[in-house]
Amino acid sequence: MSPEEKDQKIESLEQEIQVLRQKIAELERRLGLDSQTSSKPPSSDGLKKLDKNRTKSLREKGKRPSGGQFGHVGQTLEQVLEPDNIIKHPAPCSCLSCGCDISQIEAKKIIKRQVFDIPTPRIIITEHQVGVKECPGCKAQIQGSFPEWVKAPVQYGARIKAVAAYLNHQHFIPEDRLSEVLLDLFGCRMTPGTIANTSKTLAQIIEPVVIEIASEVKAAPVKHLDETGLRIGGKTNWLHVVSTQTETWYRVAAKRKDIEVLAEIKGVVVHDHWKPYYQLVQVNHALCNAHPERELKALEEIDQESWAKSMKKVLLLACNYKHRYPQGIPENIIARINQLYEQILNRGLDFHSSQPPLNRKGHFCRVKRRVGHNLLLRLQNFRGDVLRFLTEPDVPFTNNQAERDLRMMKCKQKISGGFR
């Protein structure tokens, strides 16, 4: 092999080594990500969670001790003036000390102890009867009428249906287990199919309320948007949520990108920077800052980028001011936060511009950027949406409202495996 061939071989190997190093670094970074440093759910952390991460949070440590604070009013059972039942236990008829007869002596005082309990649950069967008469003239059969809600020879009443729906949807008891619960508690086995039909009937009853809630959240000045995958009938669907602090509108779609029904909404929408939301042109956008906080934590701990720690501190400081001044942050503080934000952005961009370019190609044959570089560009290009909470008192720091509204649906799916 000639010296020229050796040099070419060495150069090609060096390039290959560089590419492999970048791949290894990317894979190691993926292994280091968890629910604390990315948008991955806590369930993806697995069983090998480190103890130091179990209580580690993005929030700063509070100054107050844990537990009940000074002046906290405790809650305990208190006796009532008029109990439902009174059981009198007689005093002894003779003195336990000297044996004297005290059967005719009245009690000097009464000591009361009250027990709070529930009556034995049992099914109450009510039979409805109507009489049938025959007209002596035309021999026509004339009968009375049952109440409108009594439609079958045998049926379940409204209360037992309400209990079944409450336990199924509010407390996530699966239909098969709920059938056993009703049998154990009330001696009544309601089949899973009947429980499912009850839910379907209730959904039809509350449909006008859902329409009213949808119109009200669309008109709200600030609303939260989010979506998540949902298994319905064995197929993957998408649960979309539009919510405020008082109302939540759930809707299910076969595709994730189903935002046509939101085309006419106005006001401010808070979301997690899902790009299709930016197709809503009649609204102002506010981005959830919990997501970049987790990304900044990963850049600080895994990639060792110092600017990320500074940016995280600035965002947490801004969040503290948001809570301290609920009616509006003073202008001088807003100006200072914007100044620090700009300085850290420039510092991070300078850091990445000094790094050697990655050899690998990204999507659409573009030069692949580092994770931190992409985050910096997002924080720069959408700066107004990231910091909108500073200037508008009604806009929150995060999109936690929508995420909390979705969380219970995911809990029910995990317990039951899916929805009918």
User: What pLDDT digit, counting tens, does each position of 284-330 carry?
Assistant: 999 999 989 988 988 888 888 899 999 999 999 999 999 999 899 99
Query: How much is the pLDDT for 61?
Result: 66
Query: Are 380 and 349 in the same domain?
Result: yes
Mean pLDDT of the chain: 86
Query: Are 406 and 394 in the same domain?
Result: no
Query: Are 410 and 385 in the same domain?
Result: no
Count of domains for the chain: 3
Position 346 in a domain = yes
Whether the pLDDT of residue 58 is over 70: the answer is no
Whether the pLDDT of residue 21 is over 80: the answer is no
Query: Are 365 and 218 in the same domain?
Result: no
Percent of the chain with pLDDT over 90: 48
Query: Are 244 and 170 in the same domain?
Result: no
Position 54 in a domain = no
Query: Are 338 and 323 in the same domain?
Result: yes
Position 336 in a domain = yes
The CA distance from 266 to 262, in Å, is 9
Query: Are 302 and 339 in the same domain?
Result: yes
Position 377 in a domain = yes
- Residue 217 belongs to what domain range? 207-264+401-420
For residue range 217-229, list pLDDT tens digits in order. 999 999 999 999 9
Query: Are 367 and 383 in the same domain?
Result: yes
Query: Are 258 and 344 in the same domain?
Result: no
Query: How much is the pLDDT for 13?
Result: 80
For residue range 72-122, list pLDDT tens digits in order. 777 788 888 999 999 988 888 888 888 788 878 888 888 999 999 888 888
Query: How much is the pLDDT for 49?
Result: 56
Position 139 in a domain = no
Query: Are 230 and 194 in the same domain?
Result: no
Query: How much is the pLDDT for 339?
Result: 94
Position 27 in a domain = no
Query: Are 378 and 313 in the same domain?
Result: yes
Position 57 in a domain = no
* 50 — pLDDT class (breaks 50, 70, 90): low
pTM above 0.85, yes or no: no
Position 312 in a domain = yes
Query: How much is the pLDDT for 247?
Result: 94
Token pair listed for 29 = 């970074």
